[in-house]
């Protein structure tokens, strides 16, 4: 059996690691993409019908999903219907070529297709399998479908978002997916370290619950409830654990985020506003006092900000070294001189649109040359090269296509 080659100039720290990504939508694929960014050779496996929902996510450009192109960057694309006997046979034949398998089907789905954990590890005893689901492989909710907004709401995160007097709010972005994807990439890297250090390498199943990943971000909430009977809730943009920390509007209608929570910073903030005496006022002299008098403090700051143009306010706050920023839209991100100098936004080569902008590879490793991944490929774009190198003849590949196995 030949070993399909993925030709890549990415020499990042995960160079040489081979990942088979059969996940759909965002969470699992994002985990694999983060690994691809750092040098892993990732093969994206789709069903022949190209029914991954991410390919239909808006907005579209000339019938092309921009979301798909950036989320699945740097991968080669193949198709295979693992639900069919021949597809399952080829899939198990492929597994020894890979170090990692990423899947995010509803718990039990692969078992129903004859691809249970025992079968997968019989095909490749050293295989690391990331199973990213909404609620994990066990428990009463294990079979429930999962989506980002469900993870966010059930973790307690959504309860923190919105105005105090209004309903909980979701942000216009699937945060729960990308957070669980980050945990997925971290988990893969951890398992690879373990594998590299082990004399007797064995396969590892990683049971990653996206809801638990969101909960892990909310470190103090359980302790606050148990020890203080306190349920943290939404307060708009105002922080209730440190102050001042909020969003304010300038006289020319620019929204800014300001943080003045440490004592030295708060003193400098008071100087910037021309009210040095405020820092010595017993109501505002330390964080706990400021938290007890947040309404009054926020009104003072809001009044000052609303009397300044953003340009003038920025000069004063920068001079006094007060942490602040305009609340950026993506247009601001693209035009910011700091991000431009660091090439924080790169351009992915794309066969349909020429090139498209996307975030750079994060983080940056010394001694690793700059690498620009290509955008997500078309369905089955690398079928012929992959399956030929796997050892299938042109006739076999043609027959698999005719039988809708690939």
Residues belonging to the active site: 177
Gap between the Cα atoms of 258 and 246, Å rounded: 6
What's the token pair of residue 135? 């609620």
Q: Where are the beta strands (DSSP E) in 140-293?
A: 204-209, 245-249, 255-259
For residue 220, the SS3 value is: coil
Residues 6 or more apart from 375 whose CB is under 8 A from it?
Answer: 69, 70, 72, 73, 348, 349, 350, 351, 353, 356, 358
What's the token pair of residue 298? 């926020």
Gap between the Cα atoms of 266 and 259, Å rounded: 8
Gap between the Cα atoms of 244 and 290, Å rounded: 7
Gap between the Cα atoms of 232 and 221, Å rounded: 7
Helices (H), 202-336: 210-217, 221-228, 263-273, 287-292, 294-305, 310-319, 330-335
What's the token pair of residue 287? 């964080």
Gap between the Cα atoms of 195 and 55, Å rounded: 34
């Amino acid at each position: 059996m030949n070993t399909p080659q993925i030709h890549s100039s990415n020499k990042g720290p995960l160079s040489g690691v081979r990942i088979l990504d059969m996940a759909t939508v965002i969470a699992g694929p994002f985990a694999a993409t983060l690994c691809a960014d750092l040098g892993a050779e990732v093969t994206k496996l789709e069903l022949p019908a190209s029914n991954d929902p991410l390919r239909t996510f808006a907005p579209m450009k000339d019938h092309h999903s921009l979301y798909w192109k950036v989320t699945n960057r740097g991968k080669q694309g193949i198709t295979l219907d693992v639900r069919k006997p021949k597809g399952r046979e080829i899939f198990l034949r492929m597994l020894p070529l890979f170090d990692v398998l990423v899947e995010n089907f509803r718990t039990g789905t692969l078992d129903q297709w004859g691809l249970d954990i025992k079968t997968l590890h019989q095909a490749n005893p050293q295989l690391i399998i990331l199973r990213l689901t909404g609620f994990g492989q066990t428990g009463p909710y294990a079979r429930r479908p999962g989506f980002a907004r469900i993870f966010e709401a059930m973790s307690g995160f959504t309860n923190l978002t919105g105005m105090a007097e209004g309903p909980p709010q979701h942000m216009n972005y699937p945060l729960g997916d990308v957070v669980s994807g980050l945990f997925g990439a971290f988990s893969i890297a951890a398992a690879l370290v373990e594998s590299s250090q082990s004399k007797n390498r064995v396969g590892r199943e990683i049971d990653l619950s996206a809801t638990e990943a969101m909960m892990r971000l909310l470190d103090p909430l359980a302790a606050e409830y148990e020890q203080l009977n306190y349920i943290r809730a939404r307060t708009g943009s105002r922080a209730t654990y440190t102050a001042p920390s909020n969003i304010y509007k300038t006289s020319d209608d620019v929204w800014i985020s300001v943080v003045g929570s440490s004592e030295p910073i708060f003193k400098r903030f008071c100087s910037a506003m021309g009210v040095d005496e405020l820092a010595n006022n017993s109501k505002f002299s330390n964080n706990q006092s400021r938290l007890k008098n947040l309404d009054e403090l926020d009104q003072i700051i809001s009044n000052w900000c609303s009397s300044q143009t953003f340009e003038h306010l920025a000069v004063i706050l920068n001079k006094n070294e007060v942490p602040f920023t305009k609340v950026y839209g993506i247009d601001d991100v693209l035009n910011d001189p700091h991000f431009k100098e660091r090439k924080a936004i790169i351009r992915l080569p794309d066969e349909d649109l020429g090139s498209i902008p996307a975030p750079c590879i994060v983080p940056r490793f010394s001694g690793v040359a700059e690498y620009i991944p290509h955008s997500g490929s078309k369905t089955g774009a690398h079928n012929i090269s992959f399956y030929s190198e796997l050892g299938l003849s042109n006739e076999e590949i043609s027959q698999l296509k005719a039988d809708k196995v690939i």
